Structure 1
């Protein structure tokens, strides 16, 4: 999707000044990027957040990120969020699954 198309759909007619205000981007920066037809990835994220949209979806829509990343969690981040008990349970489950059955 073209960046300007994405921005039009996201901002729904807001002025460049309003887009900048809602996203914390200077008017000159957002105006220059709109005129060039290419909004930086950082500003796509800021605009998406400013308009209550998911930034990963915005990055996919603007082709900064391949779509397959939108539906997956970062495994390292997920592991860091898991409790010790959850990690132990998962480890045990995998160990049981891969071990041959006792006869």
Structure 2
């Protein structure tokens, strides 16, 4: 959606003076930026979005202050940061219910830039993973159930 369409939908037929009043922008500034090819500042785009109960990130994308690919990254990081452990576990369980093969995928805890290399170099078989778990003396509930790093001593026992 471009800035013209976004603003038209947000304003829903209201005037620039009404927009300025709602957003807390002076009428002169609102008219100047409107008449200058909708060149609202990023700050004013955010104020307008909030005044009309619209997503400020979507507005910044529409006005070309953010790229489309930046929207998802910011939203995803915020959502993950604000999610409770129950939220995260519920989502994981729902995904596994939809596609049980996901349970066989490796869990990555490193730098995302190194993920492809990690997957290419990964040579542990499911049997080797199960053997490591059994050496730890833990029930076979899957690697995702363990938290933290586990190191084995020379006999294969949990050294932690």
Offset of residue 69 of structure 1: 2.2
Offset of residue 7 of structure 1: 1.5
Between structure 1 and structure 2, the one with the greater Rg is 2
The runs of at least 4 consecutive aligned structure 1 residues that moved more than 4 Å come to: 99-102
Offset of residue 100 of structure 1: 6.8
Q: Which has the higher contact order (CA 8 A, sep 6+)?
A: 1
Relative to 1, partners in 2 of residues 1:93 and 1:17: Cα closer, same or farther, differing over 3 Å? Answer: same
Alpha-carbon distance between aligned partners in 1 of 2:152 and 2:63, rounded to the nearest angstrom: 48
Alpha-carbon distance between aligned partners in 2 of 1:39 and 1:94, rounded to the nearest angstrom: 48
Q: Which residue of 2 aligns with 1:10?
A: 10
Name the Cα RMSD after superposition: 3.2
Q: Which runs of 5+ in 1 are unaligned?
A: 83-89
Q: TM-score, with normalisation over the residues of structure 2? A: 0.47
Contact 1:3 1:39 in 2 (8 A): no
Contact 1:4 1:34 in 2 (8 A): no
